């Protein structure tokens, strides 16, 4: 049993198909089938049930798959770590983030560039909780700034700051004339909300539930930019993180605070606990922490 055989086996299971796995691995399907048969012969038991229309794992195969997938991930980790070692002081930082950090993250980068001018920084949006965990564990990102509280043994989650979700309205909306706004004032208003799987959606719905109010959800979006474009046309209202609105120049949009603790949220910095990172990457993580200390 070797890593190549295990990689073949894991790829077949992940794709639920010998043909798709063979295409992914750039080998012929007969060669892939023979490799699995050889592995089963060496192990002395069957790992794939071929008596069904779909490929299914046997009980022994399930155990082997979990172990093999973890081993292959560890091997990929070793490769990544060796690349990082080679690139100490230069190379690339892969940083995941949510939309609302776009107004302060450039300030951290500006400070960082003074010490590490040769580092490339790759910024990508990572929004849902599962995406955060998968991105870190698959070594697609070194660290992620998120509003998701990640409670996992292998992931460090550090609170950076708290922020409020604030109401955004078109200037023509009668609610802009209210001295104070409550959730009950929002009844019947066409509401714009994040799609399923986003923490902001859960935060907003929990806030409405705590206040005993049911929102009239009219539009679902994935980006706050889209929400603001809808509000700008006067066809809905939305709750948006206050940091996202810091540099809001559009006078057609009016932001209002709703006095409710349910609209407070925390932004976190997350990264893998036991992953090796170069001093240059570790320095960026520390600068981000210190920015809010």
Contact 275, 77 (CB under 8 A): yes
Cross-strand pairs, 89: none
**Neighbour count for residue 229 (Cβ, 10 Å):** 13
Strands (E), the chain: 48-49, 56-57, 91-97, 119-125, 143-146, 155-170, 190-194, 216-221, 237-241, 253-256, 264-272
pLDDT tens string 199-230: 888 889 999 999 999 999 999 998 888 999 99
pLDDT at 3: 86
Residue 99's closest CA among 36, 45, 163, 35? Answer: 163
- The tens digit of pLDDT for each residue in 241-268 reads 988 887 666 778 999 999 888 899 899 9
pLDDT of 87 strictly over 70: no
> Which residue intervals of the chain bear CATH 1.10.10.10?
3-80
* Mean residue pLDDT across the chain: 88
Judged against a pLDDT cut of 60, whether residue 27 lies above it is answered with yes
Average pLDDT, integer, range 119-143: 90
| Sign of the Cα pseudo-torsion (206, 207, 211, 213, in order) | negative
**202-215: string of b/e by CB count within 10 Å (b at 16+)?**
bbbeebbeebeeeb
pLDDT at 127: 77
CATH architecture entry for 86-160+266-291? 3-Layer(aba) Sandwich (3.40)
DSSP string for 68-102: HHHHHHHHHHHHHHHHHHHTTTSEEEEEEE-GGGT
As assigned by CATH, the class of the 163-264 domain is: alpha beta
Which residue intervals of the chain bear CATH 3.40.190.10?
Answer: 86-160+266-291, 163-264
Is the pLDDT reported for residue 193 higher than 90?
Answer: yes
């Amino acid at each position: 049993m070797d890593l190549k055989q295990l990689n073949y086996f894991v790829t077949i299971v992940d794709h639920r198909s010998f043909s798709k796995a063979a295409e992914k691995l750039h080998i012929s399907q007969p060669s892939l089938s023979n490799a699995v048969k050889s592995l089963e012969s060496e192990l002395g038991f069957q790992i794939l049930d071929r008596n069904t229309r779909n490929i299914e794992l046997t009980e022994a195969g399930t155990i082997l798959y979990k172990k093999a997938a973890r081993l292959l991930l560890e091997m990929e980790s070793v490769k990544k770590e060796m690349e990082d070692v080679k690139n100490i002081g230069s190379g690339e930082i892969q940083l995941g983030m949510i939309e609302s950090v776009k107004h302060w993250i450039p300030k951290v980068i500006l400070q960082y560039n003074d010490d590490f001018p040769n580092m490339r920084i790759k910024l990508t949006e990572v929004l849902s909780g599962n995406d955060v965990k998968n991105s870190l564990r698959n070594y697609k990102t070194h660290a992620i700034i998120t509003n998701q509280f990640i409670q996992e043994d292998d992931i460090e989650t550090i609170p950076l700051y708290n922020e409020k979700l604030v109401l955004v309205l078109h200037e023509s909306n009668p609610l802009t004339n209210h001295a104070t706004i409550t959730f009950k004032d929002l009844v019947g208003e066409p509401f714009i909300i994040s799609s399923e799987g986003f923490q902001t959606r859960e935060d907003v719905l929990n806030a409405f539930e705590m206040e005993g109010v049911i929102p009239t959800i009219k539009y679902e979006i994935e980006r706050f930019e889209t929400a603001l474009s809808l509000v700008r046309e006067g066809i809905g209202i939305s709750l948006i993180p206050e940091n996202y609105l810091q540099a809001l120049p559009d006078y057609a949009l009016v932001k209002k605070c709703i006095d409710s603790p349910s609209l407070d949220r925390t932004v976190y910095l997350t990264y893998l606990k036991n992953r090796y990172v170069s001093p240059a990457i570790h320095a960026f993580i520390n600068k981000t922490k210190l920015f809010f200390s």
